[in-house]
Amino acid sequence: MKNIKFIIAGTLFGIIMYKSEAASWYRIQEMFRFQSIHMYGIIGLAVAIGVPMVYFIKKREMKDFTGAPIVFHPKAWSIPRYLFGGTIFGLGWALSGACPGPIVVNIGAGFPGYLVVLISAVLGTFVYGFFRNKLPH
Amino acid sequence: MNYILQPWPWYVSGALIALIMFLMLFFGKNFGFSNNLRTLCTMCGADKYAPFFQFDWQKQSWNLFFLVGTFVGGWIAANWLSAPDYTVAISTQTVEDLKALGFSEPVGFVPESQFGIDALSNWANVAILALGGFMVGFGARYAGGCTSGHAISGISDLQPASLLAVVGFFIGGLLMTHVLFPLIF
């Protein structure tokens, strides 16, 4: 039952995404129209805490609960991969009003339209994987 | 209890998201939700069609348990931790902009006209949802991560690639909202 902790962490994440309204289509529209600090405050504060947190984890060489070192995986630099991939993701984020986590939050919250979004997201991932070596990375 | 039932302010939510990231690092995992989409492809047999899906998906099963939790969390928050007549209070300017596009006054958490059960019999709407989801899935894997992997985890680790990905998220999001929304809706 070593996976129970991931279910609990995911449950907390789902509750936070709903209660913060970060999973709300309305809030995403408001964010892309720059009409409230709300979403910028959420992401900005998470990063403002996250940067020193990661810094200290690295500096103190902290261990995870099993005693293994906490490792970070640097991402290889590329312009087309992150620019094109990111832009396509952003188009979908604004259109569906949800990124992958909030898609699942909304299904749990009882909005069946997000089942269509989830199935299509899995399909989009498959099409990416299928054409991966033909795309600029 | 009242504080829990009301929507949570951004300064509480942002801190709690950082806590989730710390929790996942403490569990020995890197926080990134969209990897689940690749795992789901492999579980459905996509490894027979592309090498990208040939990996031991059971090593990613922890993330699927996280996904199951996310579903449960959405259910708990909507059914037990929110007022029944609750509507997301967005800025009046956003409401006006959405009305100008033909959307009705905000009601509830997301628009029923797009995501409610009746909206599934509207084929134009289903096509929009499918297109949105397709781009989220395609783009997340192309960019090697989504909001959690890049905007939260990647930028916290000061990864230039993640910063560029987030710039891309906004190029796409602004293009969709300001240029394509008036054409689609």
Per residue in B92-144, pLDDT tens?
999 999 999 999 999 999 999 999 999 999 999 999 999 999 999 999 999 99
> Scanning the structure block, which residue is given the tokens 């949105």?
B132
> In this complex, is the C-beta atom of A87 within 8 Å of any C-beta atom belonging to chain B?
yes
Q: The tokens of B145 are what?
A: 């991560």
A112 touches chain B (CB under 8 A): yes
**To the nearest whole angstrom, how far is the Cα of B108 from the nearest Cα of chain A?**
9
Neighbouring-strand partners of residue A69: A63
Distance from CA of A64 to the nearest CA of B (A): 4
At B117 the pLDDT is 96
CA angle B7, B12, B17 (to 5 degrees): 105
Structure tokens at B180: 């394509």
Sign (positive/negative) of CA torsion B79, B82, B87, B88?
A: negative
Q: What is the C-alpha separation between A92 and B137, in angstroms, rounded? A: 8
pLDDT of residue A1: 72
Chains A and B form CB pairs within 8 A to the count of: 494
CB contact under 8 A, A32 and B176: yes
A residues 24-53 lying closer than 8 A (beta carbon) to B: 24-33, 35-39, 41-51, 53
Distance, CA of A28 to chain centre: 14
pLDDT in tens, A22-58: 999 999 999 999 999 999 999 999 999 999 999 999 9
**How far is Cα B163 from Cα B111, in angstroms, rounded to an integer?**
31
Least CB-CB distance to A32: which of B21, B36, B173?
A: B173
DSSP three-state, residue B137:
helix
- CB atoms under 10 Å from CB of A110, counted, come to 15
Query: How do residues B45-104 score in pLDDT, each as one tens digit?
Result: 999 999 999 999 999 999 999 999 999 999 999 999 999 889 999 999 999 999 999 999
Q: Taking Cα atoms as reference points, which of A108, A27, A17, A25 lies closest to residue B114?
A: A25
pLDDT of the residue at B2: 81
Q: Flag if A84 and B175 touch (Cβ within 8 Å).
A: no
CB contact under 8 A, B70 and A65: no
Please say whether the dihedral angle defined by the alpha carbons of residues B129, B134, B137 and B143, taken in this order, is positive or negative.
negative
| DSSP string covering B44-77 | TTGGGT-GGG-S-GGGGHHHHHHHHHHHHHHHHH
Structure token pair of residue A76: 């290889």
* 8 Å CB contact between B151 and B170: no
Q: Among residues of chain B, what percentage have pLDDT more than 70?
A: 99
Contact call for B109 and A32, based on CB within 8 A: no
Tokens of A1: 């039952």
List, as one string, the DSSP characters of A78-131.
Answer: -HHHHHHHHHHHHHHHHHHS--HHHHHHHHHTT-THHHHHHHHHHHHHHHHHHH
